[in-house]
Amino acid sequence: MLFLLGTVRFLRTYSLRWLPGLTTALAFVLAGIGMTFLHLEKQNSSLPNEGNIVLTGEIISEPQPTQKSVKFILKPGYDSLKRVYRSGNVLVFTKNEPKARQLRMGDFITARGNLTVPQAPRNPEEFDYAFYLKTQRITRVLFVREHEWKPIKTVKSPTLKATFSRWRNYLLTTLQQNGLSGEEYKVAAAILLGNDQLIDPDTKQNYATAGAVHILCVSGMHVGIIFLVLNFLLGFLNRLKRGALVKNLILFLLLWSYAWLTGLAPSVLRATVMISFFILANALKRNYDSYNLLAASAFVLLLFNPFLIFHVGFQLSYSAVLGILTFYNPLYRSLYIKNKLISVFWAALMVSLSAQLGAFPVATHYFHVFPVYFLLTNLIIFLLSYLILNLGFGLLLLSWLPLVPKVLGIALSWTIKILNLWVHFVAHLPFSQLIDLYFPWPKVILIYLLILFVFQLLFKRKGNLLLPALAVALVLLTLQTFRNLQIRSQKHLIVYAVNRHPVIGLIEGDTQLLITDSLAAAQPDILDYNLDNYRISRGLHNETQNLSGDESGAKTYYHDGFLQFNGQHYYILSGTKNYPELKSKIHLTALLYTGRKYISLQNLSASFAFNTLIVDSSVPDWLRTKIAREAKNLRIKAIETAKSGALRISKKNPIFFTNSLQN
């Protein structure tokens, strides 16, 4: 760094004017690389990879109850052998029971359970949960039974994060005590305090469909409104000597307190850091550039945690703000409105449109949907969210007064009811969202380029960008044409790796026939997590067939376990019935072993001739081990999808999907 600064000092000649900028950029890059390596070093855990273990440590996240379990992040201190662990956090799952629901962030516990390493994705395009946990600094998963953990007392004072978490729980209780209940309480908890864990999936889906899911988490909009209100309320300090300095200090402390109170979400951090720079610039009476403030806030956050760049909330927050900074002013000024009230609504609509232009390519990349009526939704949400924040914080701040918080609680509850009704109305309009959109990163980048070129053409009158815009549109059209041709020509069988369920996909063109068990067939959500991304990337629509059913078509035949597809023959041993007794052997491309029932391979060889055995993930571990040993003795090639991942079979070659091969 000193060398670079020296270079900047002594090489100030005009011909080398580019060198200071280059050296400064290199300094930042090297600093970023160094910080990333430091964080990677912290990721290295000294915990064993697997096995039964007793750990004592501190709960460093708010426990989240689900239907069957309570999960939380544990920072391990030591084990039963007094071995000390200084790095690597553990995600703990235990049974959802009253004792577990009383746990809070900052509590210390001792727990015995089965320790495992987070599993890498085993299906193509599947969400990489192991990498997600790694970005959260979680290196192991611990499954603890109901009576195999206990809280312990400690003299250690709670951390700042734990202290704010307890304050948040107190404020949540205050909301309940002042007239909020049911869905209104859950939405208020999410909007005001960032606690979105309680919201029902149907409600969250309605908000997502209507294009209003951003309101269910504390975001930059919330922080911005709070800053504006506080700045107005503290305006009287400007009249005092050094009052502006006191006001800025109070604003800084209150905003960061709120960020800690809501759990330090990436969108909140982005807004808080940006406003902190804004406050600092005002205090120093310096001019500032909004783009520089945004870049500086990203640099500071990534300096402390480089893995934030992989966080979807971080990417969406920054892309939305970039959209507002780039598009809002030209869009707002495109129409002159005299009426002040209408002008406010017009400004709100243009903010929403600008944020959507900035964020929708990234959002579509991750979620594959686009809310058609987002402008209609945000027209009302702008006003209602402002009312909810003011009523909610008024209730929390004045909760010590008699009667006043009750009145505010009733008003807040009715405002949220109106919000929920409006969102439900918009979400159930015809064609409320476009679904199954496939936006890989190259397409995302091209769409951003097209938006920028078209925007410059329309609002900046830069005619020289017409040809680049047409070129980008042509590339997008070409990519879509190749994709359509690929979809039409695809034809293969894939044995998916889904825990406890047999799932075989027969893909031909844009159709996928899923042969699975009755439970998975009746509850498609079981399969969506594992298969949906691949289905969308391949342009497929699913048809489901039960293992015990029949299917007959021009090129596909399935009956009583026998499968003929793509000129190849298979037998699916479901474990629900014995294999058929045959007079002569049937030659198979592969035999698919599913279910929990053991059937000897020696006996199967009497009816089938096969060299390849595929053991899917519905087969339990003990049975897979037994079958693999028997296959080795019979010199039959055994493939376990629980270990190798999903298997795709075409007429040419089988292809395994692992972490290094996802397409």
Sequential DSSP letters for 346-393: HHHHHHHHHHHHHHHHHHHHHH--EETTHHHHHHHHHHHHHHHHHHHH
User: Is the pLDDT assigned to residue 659 strictly greater than 50?
Assistant: no
Cα angle, residue 413 at apex, residues 408 and 418 outer, rounded to 5°: 125
Tokens of 571: 């037998």
Beta-strand pair 608-609/586-587: parallel
Helical axes 243-261 vs 160-177, angle rounded to 10°: 80
Coil vs helix vs strand at 548: coil
pLDDT digits (tens, 9 = 90+) for 302-361: 888 888 888 888 899 899 999 999 999 999 998 888 888 888 888 888 988 999 999 999
Percent of the chain's residues with pLDDT above 90: 40
User: Is the pLDDT assigned to residue 662 strictly greater than 70?
Assistant: no
Instruction: Judge residue 468's burial from the number of C-beta atoms within 10 Å of its C-beta, 0-12 exposed, 13-18 middle, 19 or more buried.
Output: middle
pLDDT digits (tens, 9 = 90+) for 294-313: 888 888 888 888 888 888 88
552 pLDDT tier (thresholds 50, 70, 90)? low
More confident residue, 80 or 137: 137
Taking residues 620-634, what's their average pLDDT? 93
User: Is the pLDDT assigned to residue 239 strictly greater than 90?
Assistant: no
SS3 assignment for 259-315:
HHHCCCCHHHHHHHHHHHHHHHHHHCCCCCCHHHHHHHHHHHHHHHCHHHHHCHHHH
Q: CA 662, CA 600: separation in Å to the nearest integer?
A: 34
Q: Which helix (H) or strand (E) holds 141?
A: strand 138-152
Q: CA 195, CA 511: separation in Å to the nearest integer?
A: 40
Q: CA 318, CA 219: separation in Å to the nearest integer?
A: 11
Q: CA 638, CA 627: separation in Å to the nearest integer?
A: 8
pLDDT digits (tens, 9 = 90+) for 416-458: 999 999 999 999 999 999 999 999 999 999 999 999 999 999 8
Q: What is the mean pLDDT of the chain?
A: 86
Coil vs helix vs strand at 404: helix
617 pLDDT tier (thresholds 50, 70, 90)? very high
Domain segments of the chain as ranges: 2-43, 51-156, 441-486, 490-656
Taking residues 144-172, what's their average pLDDT? 85
Q: Which helix (H) or strand (E) holds 53?
A: strand 51-59
User: Is the pLDDT assigned to residue 573 strictly greater than 80?
Assistant: yes
Instruction: Judge residue 35's burial from the number of C-beta atoms within 10 Å of its C-beta, 0-12 exposed, 13-18 middle, 19 or more buried.
Output: middle
pLDDT digits (tens, 9 = 90+) for 500-525: 899 999 999 999 999 998 888 888 88
CATH topology of domain 51-156: OB fold (Dihydrolipoamide Acetyltransferase, E2P) (2.40.50)
Coil vs helix vs strand at 478: helix
pLDDT digits (tens, 9 = 90+) for 173-189: 999 999 888 899 999 99
Kindly report each contact of residues 236-244 with a partner whose C-beta sits within 8 Å and lies 24 or more positions away, as own/partner: 244/282, 244/283
Taking residues 465-491, what's their average pLDDT? 94
Q: What was the pLDDT predicted at 16? A: 65
Q: Which helix (H) or strand (E) holds 442?
A: helix 441-459
Q: CA 587, CA 567: separation in Å to the nearest integer?
A: 12
Pick the range with the lowest mean pLDDT from 235-244, 468-477, 482-491: 235-244
Q: What was the pLDDT predicted at 477? A: 96
Q: Give me the half-sphere count of Cα atoms (radius 13 Å) on the Cβ side of residue 51.
A: 7
Strand stretches in 438-523, DSSP E: 491-495, 503-508, 511-516
pLDDT digits (tens, 9 = 90+) for 373-408: 998 888 888 888 889 988 999 999 898 888 899 999
657 pLDDT tier (thresholds 50, 70, 90)? very low
Q: What's the DSSP call for residue 597?
A: -
605 pLDDT tier (thresholds 50, 70, 90)? confident
Residues whose CB is less than 8 angstroms from the CB of residue 624 and which lie 6 or more positions away in sequence, other chains included = 615, 640, 642
Q: What was the pLDDT predicted at 65? A: 86
pLDDT digits (tens, 9 = 90+) for 33-78: 777 766 666 666 677 878 888 999 999 988 988 888 999 999 998 8
Percent of the chain's residues with pLDDT above 70: 92
Taking residues 194-219, what's their average pLDDT? 83
Residues whose CB is less than 8 angstroms from the CB of residue 482 and which lie 6 or more positions away in sequence, other chains included = none
Q: CA 213, CA 221: separation in Å to the nearest integer?
A: 13
